[in-house]
């Protein structure tokens, strides 16, 4: 596996071996009339771009109630951001959303039954926003179905994050608490599952799935 900002490779391989039942040679899901697979719009892969932002000032408070609405080419889902347990990570995620950083980026890594991962401006798993944030994940954090966390490389310390995030599809991804917490999907998980069905055993999407935009709402 080439170097990339990613989940733990060993855990990923184990999940793929356990959950792999599809045929990588199946027909492309893209259909007619501007529709791709099962409610997903057809989309073209975006041009890679470099992230060159500076780290934001801390404006999110642990008491803030924030929801991230993620609009994608396969529908929308909502993330209840966990500012109480992860104020620095949530602050960075919200900042990137407000700056439009995520607009037009793909879910470049889709592992059926494990995770969907996006937020890379290069689109190949190696990109970031131009800065990193360090915040230790909660010691008792379990990466269960619907949990949203930040991806990192294996050589980076626990809790480091840039812009790449993932949503857990598995009942329990079996990961150690090394990945910074963002929150949990509390609405639209059917959309997350729809995206998850577009993955292959090699984690490559069978069709392009884009983040149209992420909007952070208060209350």
**Which letter, b or e, does each residue of 45-78 get, where b requires 16 or more Cβ atoms within 10 Å of its Cβ?**
eeeeeebeeeebeeebeeebebbbbbbbbbbebb
Q: How many residues does the chain have?
A: 219
At residue 205, φ and ψ (nearest 5 deg) are -60, 140
Token pair for 4: 């990339």
Q: Going by DSSP bridges, is the β-strand pair 66-72/133-134 parallel, antiparallel, or unpaired?
A: unpaired
User: Does residue 42 sit in helix, strand or coil?
Assistant: coil
Residue indicated by tokens 């729809």: 194
Separation CA 156–CA 16 (nearest Å)? 23
Q: Look at residue 36 in the predicted model and tell me its pLDDT.
A: 62
- pTM here? 0.86
* Domains of the chain (ranges, CATH numbers): 9-19+67-218 (2.40.100.10)
Q: Look at residue 130 in the predicted model and tell me its pLDDT.
A: 98
Q: Look at residue 37 in the predicted model and tell me its pLDDT.
A: 76
58 Cβ neighbours under 8 A, 6+ residues apart: 87, 88, 91
Residue by residue, pLDDT tens for the chain (219 residues) are 333 455 544 344 444 434 444 444 333 344 333 456 778 999 999 999 999 999 999 999 999 999 999 999 999 999 999 999 999 999 999 999 999 999 999 999 999 999 999 999 999 999 999 999 999 999 899 999 999 999 999 999 999 999 999 999 999 999 999 999 999 999 999 999 999 999 999 999 999 999 999 999 998
| Cβ atoms within 10 Å, residue 180 | 28
At residue 75, φ and ψ (nearest 5 deg) are 120, -170
Residue indicated by tokens 């008491």: 63
At residue 183, φ and ψ (nearest 5 deg) are 165, -150
At residue 204, φ and ψ (nearest 5 deg) are -85, 130
Q: Look at residue 2 in the predicted model and tell me its pLDDT.
A: 33
């Amino acid at each position: 596996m080439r170097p990339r900002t990613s989940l733990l490779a060993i855990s990923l391989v184990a999940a793929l071996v356990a959950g792999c039942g599809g045929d990588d040679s199946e027909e492309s899901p893209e259909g007619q009339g501007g529709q791709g697979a099962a409610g997903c719009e057809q989309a073209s892969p975006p041009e890679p771009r470099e992230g060159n932002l500076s780290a934001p000032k801390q404006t999110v408070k642990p008491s803030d109630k924030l929801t991230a609405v993620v609009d994608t080419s396969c529908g929308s889902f909502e993330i209840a951001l966990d500012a109480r347990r992860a104020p620095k990570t949530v602050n960075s995620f919200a900042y990137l959303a407000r700056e439009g950083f995520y607009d037009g980026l793909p879910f470049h890594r889709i592992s059926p039954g494990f995770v969907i991962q996006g937020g890379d401006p290069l689109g190949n798993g190696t990109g970031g926003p131009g800065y990193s944030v360090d915040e230790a994940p909660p010691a008792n954090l379990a990466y269960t179905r619907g949990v949203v966390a930040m991806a990192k490389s294996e050589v980076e310390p626990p809790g480091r994050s840039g812009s790449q995030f993932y949503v857990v599809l598995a009942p329990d991804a079996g990961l150690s608490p090394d990945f910074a917490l963002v929150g949990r999907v509390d609405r639209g998980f059917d959309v997350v599952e729809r995206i998850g069905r577009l993955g292959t055993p090699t984690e490559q999407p069978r069709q392009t799935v884009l983040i149209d935009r992420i909007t952070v709402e208060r209350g």
